[in-house]
Structure 1
C-alpha cells in the first residue's frame, strides 16, 4: 500500500509500500537536519564532539565517555525528568541513541526508527520497515535493535529480518534498501547497530542458535552496493572455500559442521580503528553450542569466539585472537570491544580491552593480536587461568561436561553480555555490567537438527522447583548482577555495586565524575566514578537494559536512556512485575527538570480453566516440550514478564483455540507462528496441560490467605537461601 506522508513544514513526499515515515509540526527544518547530519563523517565521529553523540560508542574508540561535566557529582541531586517518549510496544529496548545538533535518532521494537527533538522529545518522523511479525520466531533474543548509524545525511539501520536500510535524515524517506543476509533459505536476523566509516557501512547478523553461518558485510553508504564479505567460519568443502583463510580455518573443524551452520555470527561488536586503519569484529558462538556435536573429532573451530582484525577496504584477514578455543558454552566474543592506549610493562601499547562472556578480561595488542593479559573479572569454573606462552585457557576437569551434566560458571548468559561497558580516563577504570550466574550443561541424546528452531546440543530444561515462587527466589540467589569497576592496569576490581538481578543496562561515564546505568529492577542510577557511591536514582517503573548517552543543546546538558524490559534474559526469566507493563519509553533528564511518569496500569489476570488430569510422565513430557519450544518467549515455568502474554492468564478463547494457535499459526501475524513442523496434537495437549497446571498452582498461591502466605514466603526464602548457598559453592 502506498500512503502520502506529510513532512516537516508542509513538504510532501510519496512513500513506498514499506515506508511509514510521518512528521510533526516542529521548528526543526528537514533541510537543517539534513545539513547537520551531512557533516557527520569519519573525521567527525573520530573527533568526539562533546555536544553530540555521533557514534555507537560516542567515537570510534567506543569508550562511552563524555567530556561534558555540567551535570556532576556536586549537583546530580538536581537532575530530573525533562521529557519522555512512549514507543508503540512494551518490549525490551536496547538501542544507543545517536544525537546530532539537537536531533535524536533511535530504534525501538520491530526495527522502527524514530527521529525526535532532543530538547523536547517531540516526534519529527517515524519509519516502520514493517518487519513480518512471524519472523520474531527466528530472533533468539526479543524483537530488539541496538541502534542506527548516521553518516552524511543518512540514517542507516538493520532490520530483524536482515535488511539494511538507509533513510533521509531530514524526512525519514527511504533512500535505499538491501537484503543483507539470505532469509529465504536461512533464519538470519539483524539486531546490532551498523558501523560507518570511509563511505562504508558494516553490519553482521544473528541466528547461530538456529543453524546459520556467520559473516560481516561492507556496503557502499551511498548506494547500498555490496563491497565485500568476510565469513567467520568455513562452509562446505565440496563447494570450495572463499579464500585461503577459510581453507586454513577448515583444518580446525571436524565432521560435517556445515550441515548445522557452524555459527560464528557477528551480532554486535564491530569497531573501526582510524589510527591503524583496521576493523575489529567480535565473533559469536558455535552452532550448535555443544562442541562434540558440531565438531565430533575435536578442533579449535576458527574463528568462533575470536576477535578478528580485517582490512576495512577489502575485508581481507589481518590477524585474530581466539579467546575460547573449541567453544562449547555459548561463550561469544561479540561483547563490547573498546580501544585504548595504555602503559604496559614499560611501554605504551595500542590495545583492545575486552570483557566477553567467558569471564576473563583481555588486554590484546591491537597491532598484531598478541595476548598481553587475561584475568578473571567474575567467578569462573570452566578454566583456572590463561597460559601466557600459548595464549590458551587452562580448562578444569568439569569444563567439557563429558561424563555427566555439570554446573558451569559463567552461564550461557555470560559474565558480561551485550550491554556496553564504559571507561573514564579520569579514573582509569572500565565499568562493566557484570553477571554472576551458572547453568547446567550436558549432552543430549540423538541430536536432531531442526531448521528454524533452537539447536543447542545441550538440554534447555533445568531441574524443576516445587513451585514458581521458589523457582524465582532461587533464581535471585544464583543469578545476580553488579556494576564492576575494573582497573586494566592492575587487572583487578577497584569497586563493585551488587544488584539483586542480572541483565542491567549499558554504562555511560562522564567528566562530571559520574557513571550512569539502568537496572533490571527499574531504576536509573548515577554513581561516583571514583568510588562507586550511589548519588542519585529515578524510578523508571520498568527494567532498563538500554545504554545511556549525553549531549548538550545551547549549553545545557541532557542524559537519555531507553527503558523497556526484555531481551533474551528478560523474556526467559519471566520476572513478574508489579502492576501492568507500561509502554517502553525514551527518558531524558536535565538539571532542574521536575517531570514525572504516570503510574503503571493495573495487571489484568484471566482465570484459566482447570487442567485435565495428567499422569506424572505426561506432565514431565509437557514441561520438557514447553521449555524446548515456548520458554524462550513465554518464560521459564510459564511465568511471563507480561510483555508477551502470560500463558497462565489468557482469555478463555485462547485455550479453546490452543491447537489452532500452537500448531496451525492462527496468530502468526501477531508473531506467534505455528509449530506443526515439530509438534503434533498430542504434544499440544501435553503443553497445554502443563501450562494449565502452572495456572492452577498460581491460582492456589493467590487464593492462599495472606497470613499463611507470609509464613510460606518466609519458609521459601530460607529454603532458597540454603539451596542458593549450596549451588553457589559447587
Structure 2
C-alpha cells in the first residue's frame, strides 16, 4: 500500500463530492454472482447471538446486544500493534460514503456498500464468494438523507438480512446470496428510507426508518426472520389517543419526524429493546409547541409487541436538529457510590448521558462538547436556553451545530478501563427561522443555517475517553479535521478509529497515546471498524470511503474536507 497524494480544491474528487447530495439516482440491476465456494457456515442461532460478546466472529452491528463495540481479543495488543499490515483489501467502484461495519461469521465476511450492494468475502483472503445488488433502478431516492449509505447487515440461522434505501428488508441465503424473501415496508420518495443495519432479537428482524428531514412519521418495525411478515410496528410519534400524544399540536403528529435510523440495542436482563429517536419535523419549533415526544429520545420497548415501557428525552422541543438516535450502550456503572444498570449515550446536543435502564431515570449528564442550547437539568430533565431558539425574526448562534458534538459514529466502551471512547466534533452554527409548508417528499425544515468553527477550540475534531462512573473526560486526542469515524475497543488495551485524512489508528486505551498509524489510505474514513478471529488469528477491518453528512452539510466549514478523495476501499489488517 502506498500513500495517496490528494488533489487540489478544484480536483475532480472535490467536484464529485459537491454533487453527491444530488446524485442519488441508482441504476443498478439485481445480480448475484457466485464466485467462490462458500466455506462451512456455522448457523447463527439465538444462543450464539446471546453470547456474541465472546464469539470469535463479529455477529452483529456493534458486536453484541450491549452495543459496546468491544472485543475480548488480545492477539493484537499494545506491545505488537506497530506490526499491523494490510493482509487483503477490496475495492468498491462507488463514489459515495462507505459506512458499513464488516460482519463476520466463521470464515465468511459480509459487507455492504452504498446503494445496497452486499458482498460476501472469505474473511482471511478477501476472495469474493458472492455479490448481491439490490435493484434501485426504479427509485429516485431524492429524499434519502444524508448520502445513499448503508451501515451493514444482520445474521440469523443461515440467512443474512439487509435494509434498503427503497424501504425493503431483504433476506438472503448466507452461503449463496440467493434471495429468500423480500418485504416492502413503505413507499420510497415520500420521505422514508432505511440506512441502518437490522437487529435480530428472538427470531425477529428489527429495523427503523430514516426521514425526519421530510416530516415522515418515524417507526420501529419487527418482522418474522423466517417469513418477513410484520410482527409489530411502533410509531415513534404517538397519536393523540396514545401516551405522549398530548405533547403535539393537533394533527402535527402525522408529520412529526422522529426517525429511528440507527441500530438499537437489546438488554436481555430486562428483556428490553432500546432505540434512539431522531429530530422532530419541521425543524422550527415555534410551529409545534410542546415537548414533542418521543423525538430526541431513547425509548424502551417490549421486544414481543413493541409497546413502549419508558422513555428519556435528551432535548425537549428540539429546534436545532440535535436528534436522539445516537447509540444506546448497555453497561453497569457506580455513580457516587451507588451501582446502576445503565444505558449510556453521547448525544448530538453535546451531553454524555447515563440513564437507569430499568426505569428511564437520569443518573447523570456531563458535557463532552461545547453545548449552549441545552443549558442544564432540573429534576432529572434537561432544559433549554430560550434566548438560543431561532424564530423567523431572530438569528441565533449556538453550539454544537446540528452536526452535533458527535454525529452517528458509534462510541465503544472497555470493561478493562471502564471508559467510553467518543468521536467528537468541535462546531457551532448560526440558525434562523423561516416559512415552510409540508408536502410529501420535500424537505420540511423551516430554518436556514450555517456551520461555523467552535470559537473555543482551534481544531475541528477529537477522540476522547470518558470515565463511565463520572462522565468526566480522562484523555483527549485533538484533530485538525472533523473526526468522523466510530471507535472499536479490544482486550489488547487498544482503541481503533480512522481519520478524515485517511489514517487508521490505534490508541492506548488507558492514555490515548497513538501506538500505530497506517499509511495514508485511499480515502477518508467514516466506516465502522470491527475485529474478528479465524484459526486464532486476529484481524481488524475498516472501510475507507469519504462521504456522508459532513461534506454535504458542513463542507463550507472546513474547505479541506472537500478535497478528500472519494471511492470505497475495504482494508483488513493483521500482524505481519
Question: Residue 287 of structure 1: SS of its match in structure 2?
Answer: coil
Q: Which residue of 1 aligns with 2:19?
A: none
Structure 1 residue 374 displacement after superposition: 0.9
Question: Residue 447 of structure 2: SS of its match in structure 1?
Answer: coil
The question of 1:452 aligning with 2:441 is answered: yes
The question of 1:562 aligning with 2:543 is answered: yes
Question: Residue 209 of structure 1: SS of its match in structure 2?
Answer: helix
Q: Which residue of 2 aligns with 1:637?
A: none
Aligned residues: 544
Structure 1 residue 115 displacement after superposition: 0.5
Contact 2:44–2:155 under 8 Å retained in 1: no
Task: After TM superposition, list the pairs within 5 Å mapping 1:350-499 onto structure 2.
Answer: 350-387=341-378, 389=379, 391-402=380-391, 404-444=394-434, 446-460=435-449, 462=450, 480-499=460-479
- 1:550–1:517: structure 2 CA closer, same or farther, 3 Å change rule? same
Contact 1:443–1:457 under 8 Å retained in 2: yes
Q: Which residue of 2 aligns with 1:232?
A: 236
Structure 1 residue 183 displacement after superposition: 3.0
Q: Distance in 1 between matches of 2:342 and 2:531?
A: 26
Task: After TM superposition, list the pairs within 5 Å mapping 1:114-513 onto structure 2.
Answer: 114-132=119-137, 134-183=139-188, 186-235=190-239, 241=241, 246=242, 248-258=243-253, 261-293=255-287, 295=288, 298-387=289-378, 389=379, 391-402=380-391, 404-444=394-434, 446-460=435-449, 462=450, 480-513=460-493
Q: Distance in 1 between matches of 2:274 and 2:575?
A: 38
Larger Rg, first or second structure (1 or 2)? 1
Q: What does the per-residue CA deviation read over 1:314-367, in whole Å, with 9 as the maximum and x for residues that have no partner? A: 111211111111111111110011000122343332110111111111111101
Q: Distance in 1 between matches of 2:480 and 2:560?
A: 14
Contact 1:435–1:481 under 8 Å retained in 2: yes
Structure showing greater relative contact order (alpha-carbon pairs closer than 8 Å, 6 or more residues apart):
2
Q: Distance in 2 between matches of 1:534 and 1:121?
A: 28
- 1:527–1:492: structure 2 CA closer, same or farther, 3 Å change rule? same
- 1:318–1:476: structure 2 CA closer, same or farther, 3 Å change rule? closer
Q: Which residue of 1 aligns with 2:499?
A: 519
Q: What does the per-residue CA deviation read over 1:109-137, in whole Å, with 9 as the maximum and x for residues that have no partner? A: 10110111110111110111122375332
Question: Residue 110 of structure 1: SS of its match in structure 2?
Answer: helix
Q: Distance in 2 between matches of 1:187 and 1:359?
A: 27
1:48 corresponds to which of 29, 53, 61? 53
Contact 2:149–2:195 under 8 Å retained in 1: yes
Contact 2:237–2:253 under 8 Å retained in 1: no
Q: Distance in 1 between matches of 2:427 and 2:186?
A: 33
Q: Which residue of 1 aligns with 2:6?
A: none
Question: Scaled by the length of structure 2, what TM-score is found?
Answer: 0.90
CA RMSD between the two structures: 2.2
Question: Residue 251 of structure 1: SS of its match in structure 2?
Answer: helix
Question: Residue 213 of structure 2: SS of its match in structure 1?
Answer: helix
Q: Answer with 302-311 or 340-349: which moved more.
A: 340-349
1:20 corresponds to which of 31, 42, 65? 31
Contact 1:42–1:197 under 8 Å retained in 2: no
| Higher fraction of helix | 1
Structure 1 residue 46 displacement after superposition: 3.1
Q: Distance in 2 between matches of 1:265 and 1:450?
A: 17
| Higher fraction of strand | 2
Question: Residue 223 of structure 2: SS of its match in structure 1?
Answer: strand
Question: Residue 516 of structure 1: SS of its match in structure 2?
Answer: strand
Q: Which residue of 2 aligns with 1:543?
A: 524
Structure 1 residue 85 displacement after superposition: 0.1
Question: Residue 219 of structure 1: SS of its match in structure 2?
Answer: strand
Q: What does the per-residue CA deviation read over 1:55-111, in whole Å, with 9 as the maximum and x for residues that have no partner? A: 211111111111111111111111111111001212111111110012101110101
Q: Which residue of 2 aligns with 1:715?
A: none
Q: What does the per-residue CA deviation read over 1:676-699, in whole Å, with 9 as the maximum and x for residues that have no partner? A: xxxxxxxxxxxxxxxxxxxxxxxx
Contact 1:62–1:339 under 8 Å retained in 2: yes
Structure 1 residue 425 displacement after superposition: 1.0
The question of 1:585 aligning with 2:569 is answered: yes
Structure 1 residue 534 displacement after superposition: 0.6
Q: Distance in 2 between matches of 1:582 and 1:279?
A: 36
Question: Residue 141 of structure 2: SS of its match in structure 1?
Answer: helix
Gaps of 5+ in 2: 1-27
Gaps of 5+ in 1: 1-16, 464-470, 593-730
Contact 2:551–2:561 under 8 Å retained in 1: no
Q: Distance in 1 between matches of 2:563 and 2:406?
A: 29
